[in-house]
Chain A
């Protein structure tokens, strides 16, 4: 396997040809935050949380979807990048209705984790609070669009891994919405195999298993102090 060398955060890193910056960085101990990325799926580069700076490039590039190249000089943790990541997470939190206290995924949610990691304790933007709707017509699973961040991991896992392509996206921009088949109730889908991969792939509480008990909202002092620390 041909190998190449690049610099990530002042450290020389060896990578396979065709490997992403993200994978090379993780191996070298630089943990770049991600959201829409999921190992095994074709990277979409859509959430822009994994943006990194590459010397000579005019704008930051997504680490998940950019290949490592010989001699590249990558920085993953600058002030500009942190500001951009915070902005993205805040914008996502304001876009729909993310109420952690009543969410099945509280404390297991990647959006929540990311917000904690970036020290986000408030959102600068107006909450848009749309009525996004819930579909619980499926026997075992449900989808709550209010918690969806449109990362399309469900769409991709269903298409690329399960091969069913039950999920897709309808509408555009703010009106984008994950749909089942041709925008019909999940319970009536004839393509859904009920495999549950989409539920596993969902980074938030948008897709959930009906039988799983809802996490009780608890006050976790340790977590609070963690947030406080990360803000400094």
Chain B
């Protein structure tokens, strides 16, 4: 037993048993969390006070976040900590007089109203410590699945849970697993899609950085269920911290017998390798992703054959989003019925959203599917800087939800009905100071830059559409340009090779559907109602 140092004597005398968690997710690190952790460790880091670095606690724009827990007391969250403020706060806690400065209310909606299933352990465990993950229940579902269930039963359980792909498509996960399980061929593969490229999306990064073992566990269970021995995690190059933590987690899990040969003595072997993207949005498309994993140019190929039929190196391949794999362990642990009880019929379980833009608190939220948009906004503290105008879902492939539809339950079908998509879960909130044609223009330029260039409609169509939107923003467009833009958009939807090209015009069509008068004001009156578009050379009309 370690004897407490001199500076801890007082602390021990006053009760100790304090657990201080410092968020070490990318956003908190960017605002100085590493310094806060160092200062706390230097000042208080000896038993019985525990200072640990954890993953994301949720309210990213309020970082660095710390949480102080003490037996018998509710956890206290503090926002925007500096090293000095953090030390003072801990001292005050030890003195029995917790300060109000920087403290979030106990019922702070962003934290209190979440239903955390996928992010269960994010912000609670040390992502660099396998023991921390196992103590919190990590790999228990794996032991259960390979020890007590047949692959058929695992697939059946996932199918019964009603889980749907969280990458945006919403395809039933159980059906996909069953297809790969039933496929012939000796070599099969499991791939986790961590190429989260949509502007405003950072759910998968949060999970990979905060609880990498959850992803590994889901993948090993999937490998067991479909009969694969090899897995790949494709992480975008812009996520170095996620890649580093995943790499360490793979090594640790391998040493502990949870990965690699003869997992937990069951005779089942499965290894996972990491692949880092090189900055192409299109690699989030599954056929392009597979090409990249195999070392080829990351561009899509025509489906069918689907990856389940012929994927990596010709073998049947299961590709799921990171968040989808994150749902697996809780489903195996608690059963399909438990999962189905959350959300709405046909949309079971929870969904992680990354909310950003004009809201009081930006960050990562997990709520049951079917939660109204209004509730999500309320959890984020409401719209900032003006009144609510629209929320963009699904990033560059999605559309927006206007103010009149704030009570829409956020599920796959309801969003589709509004001309947008669930997408991977990025939610960008815009207030009434934002110009919607400018938003459409931003996304079209994004798609133009990110088009792989293989098929003609996407490569050339995005170039022309971006030019037309530039003309609209500059006050140079005519009504002919407007109809040409709409024609181009429908053309790209119908004729592009892959999903990204088909979805590239969605932001334009969606803003045209809800905010056509704003476009008309740019074209007819040569005036930007919000004053965002510069309209150089156009005489002032007011």
Task: Give chain B residues whose Cβ lies under 8 Å from the Cβ of A51.
Answer: 495
Contact A168 B467 (CB under 8 A): no
Contact B451 A172 (CB under 8 A): yes
* 187-202 of chain A: CB within 8 A of chain B: none
B443-481 Cβ-contact flags toward A at 8 Å (1 or 0): 000001111111111011111100100000000000000
Q: Does B297 count as interface, using CB distance less than 8 angstroms?
A: yes
B413-455 Cβ-contact flags toward A at 8 Å (1 or 0): 0000000000000000000000000000000000011111111
A46-B497, A60-B495, A65-B302 given as contacts; is B464 within 8 A of A173 (CB)?
Answer: no
A47-B456, A173-B452 given as contacts; is B461 within 8 A of A91 (CB)?
Answer: yes
Contact A172 B302 (CB under 8 A): no
Which of B457, B462, B467, B487 contacts A173, CB < 8 Å?
A: B462
Task: Give chain A residues whose Cβ lies under 8 Å from the Cβ of B457.
Answer: 48, 87-88, 91
**Chain B interface, DSSP helix/strand/loop, else mixed:** helix
For the complex formed, measure the closest distance between the CB of A203 and the CB atoms of chain B, giving whole angstroms: 13
Contact A171 B453 (CB under 8 A): yes
Contact A126 B450 (CB under 8 A): no
Contact B497 A173 (CB under 8 A): no
Per the bound structure, the CA–CA distance linking A62 and B300 in Å amounts to 15
Q: Does A128 count as interface, using CB distance less than 8 angstroms?
A: yes
Contact A150 B453 (CB under 8 A): yes
Task: Give chain A residues whose Cβ lies under 8 Å from the Cβ of B452.
Answer: 172-173, 176
Q: Does A221 count as interface, using CB distance less than 8 angstroms?
A: no
Please count how many residues in chain B sit with their CB below 8 Å of the partner chain's CB atoms: 31
Per the bound structure, the CA–CA distance linking A149 and B487 in Å amounts to 22
Task: Give chain A residues whose Cβ lies under 8 Å from the Cβ of B496.
Answer: 48
Per the bound structure, the CA–CA distance linking A48 and B497 in Å amounts to 8
Q: Does A118 count as interface, using CB distance less than 8 angstroms?
A: no
A85-102 Cβ-contact flags toward B at 8 Å (1 or 0): 001100110110000000
Indicate the size class of the contact surface on chain A: 35 or more
Q: Does A73 count as interface, using CB distance less than 8 angstroms?
A: no
Which of A45, A59, A65, A94 contacts B494, CB < 8 Å?
A: A59
Contact B302 A174 (CB under 8 A): no
Contact B460 A91 (CB under 8 A): yes
Per the bound structure, the CA–CA distance linking A84 and B484 in Å amounts to 13
Task: Give chain B residues whose Cβ lies under 8 Å from the Cβ of A172.
Answer: 280, 282, 299, 450-453
Task: Give chain A residues whose Cβ lies under 8 Å from the Cβ of B268.
Answer: none
Per the bound structure, the CA–CA distance linking A126 and B461 in Å amounts to 12
Q: Does B232 count as interface, using CB distance less than 8 angstroms?
A: no
* 64-84 of chain A: CB within 8 A of chain B: 65-66, 80, 83-84
Q: Does B491 count as interface, using CB distance less than 8 angstroms?
A: yes
Q: Does A175 count as interface, using CB distance less than 8 angstroms?
A: yes
Contact A174 B459 (CB under 8 A): yes
Contact A48 B456 (CB under 8 A): yes
Task: Give chain B residues whose Cβ lies under 8 Å from the Cβ of A88.
Answer: 456-457, 460, 495
Task: Give chain A residues whose Cβ lies under 8 Å from the Cβ of B460.
Answer: 88, 91-92, 94-95
Contact A48 B495 (CB under 8 A): yes
Contact B454 A125 (CB under 8 A): no
Q: Does A116 count as interface, using CB distance less than 8 angstroms?
A: no
Q: Does A169 count as interface, using CB distance less than 8 angstroms?
A: yes
Per the bound structure, the CA–CA distance linking A172 and B459 in Å amounts to 9
For the complex formed, measure the closest distance between the CB of B176 and the CB atoms of chain A, giving whole angstroms: 20
Contact A176 B494 (CB under 8 A): no
Q: Does A44 count as interface, using CB distance less than 8 angstroms?
A: yes
Q: Does A124 count as interface, using CB distance less than 8 angstroms?
A: yes
Task: Give chain B residues whose Cβ lies under 8 Å from the Cβ of A124.
Answer: 484
Contact A174 B463 (CB under 8 A): yes
Contact B448 A92 (CB under 8 A): no
Task: Give chain B residues whose Cβ lies under 8 Å from the Cβ of A150.
Answer: 453-454, 456, 459
For the complex formed, measure the closest distance between the CB of A44 and the CB atoms of chain B, giving whole angstroms: 7
Per the bound structure, the CA–CA distance linking A126 and B487 in Å amounts to 15
Contact A169 B297 (CB under 8 A): yes
A124-160 Cβ-contact flags toward B at 8 Å (1 or 0): 1110100000000000000000000110100000000
Which of A46, A94, A175 contacts B455, CB < 8 Å?
A: A46
For the complex formed, measure the closest distance between the CB of A151 and the CB atoms of chain B, giving whole angstroms: 9
A84-B495, A124-B484, A173-B459 given as contacts; is B450 within 8 A of A91 (CB)?
Answer: no
Contact B464 A126 (CB under 8 A): yes
Task: Give chain B residues whose Cβ lies under 8 Å from the Cβ of A169.
Answer: 297, 453
Task: Give chain B residues whose Cβ lies under 8 Å from the Cβ of A59.
Answer: 494-495, 502
Which of B280, B449, B491 contacts A84, CB < 8 Å?
A: B491
For the complex formed, measure the closest distance between the CB of B484 and the CB atoms of chain A, giving whole angstroms: 6
B271-306 Cβ-contact flags toward A at 8 Å (1 or 0): 000000000101000000000000001010010000
Per the bound structure, the CA–CA distance linking A176 and B280 in Å amounts to 13
Per the bound structure, the CA–CA distance linking A175 and B463 in Å amounts to 11
Per the bound structure, the CA–CA distance linking A124 and B494 in Å amounts to 19
Per the bound structure, the CA–CA distance linking A171 and B280 in Å amounts to 10
Per the bound structure, the CA–CA distance linking A36 and B496 in Å amounts to 15
Closest B residue to A83 by CB, please name it: B491
Task: Give chain A residues whose Cβ lies under 8 Å from the Cβ of B449.
Answer: 173
Closest A residue to B480 by CB, please name it: A124
Contact A94 B464 (CB under 8 A): yes
For the complex formed, measure the closest distance between the CB of A114 and the CB atoms of chain B, giving whole angstroms: 12
Task: Give chain A residues whose Cβ lies under 8 Å from the Cβ of B487.
Answer: 87
Per the bound structure, the CA–CA distance linking A125 and B480 in Å amounts to 11
B487-515 Cβ-contact flags toward A at 8 Å (1 or 0): 11001001111000010000000000000
Which of A44, A45, A168, A175 contacts B297, CB < 8 Å?
A: A168
Per the bound structure, the CA–CA distance linking A198 and B247 in Å amounts to 43
Contact B456 A92 (CB under 8 A): yes
Per the bound structure, the CA–CA distance linking A44 and B302 in Å amounts to 8
For the complex formed, measure the closest distance between the CB of B187 and the CB atoms of chain A, giving whole angstroms: 22
For the complex formed, measure the closest distance between the CB of A111 and the CB atoms of chain B, giving whole angstroms: 11
- 14 residue pairs from A and B, CB less than 8 Å apart: A45-B302, A45-B497, A47-B456, A48-B456, A48-B457, A48-B496, A59-B495, A65-B302, A87-B487, A150-B454, A172-B452, A173-B453, A173-B463, A176-B452
Give the 3 A-B residue pairs with the shortest CB-CB distance, closest first.
A176-B453, A173-B451, A91-B460
Using A47-B455, A87-B488, A149-B456 as known contacts, list a sample of 13 further A-B pairs with CB atoms less than 8 Å apart, ordered by residue number in A: A44-B454, A88-B456, A88-B460, A92-B460, A125-B464, A150-B453, A169-B297, A171-B453, A172-B299, A172-B450, A172-B451, A173-B462, A174-B451
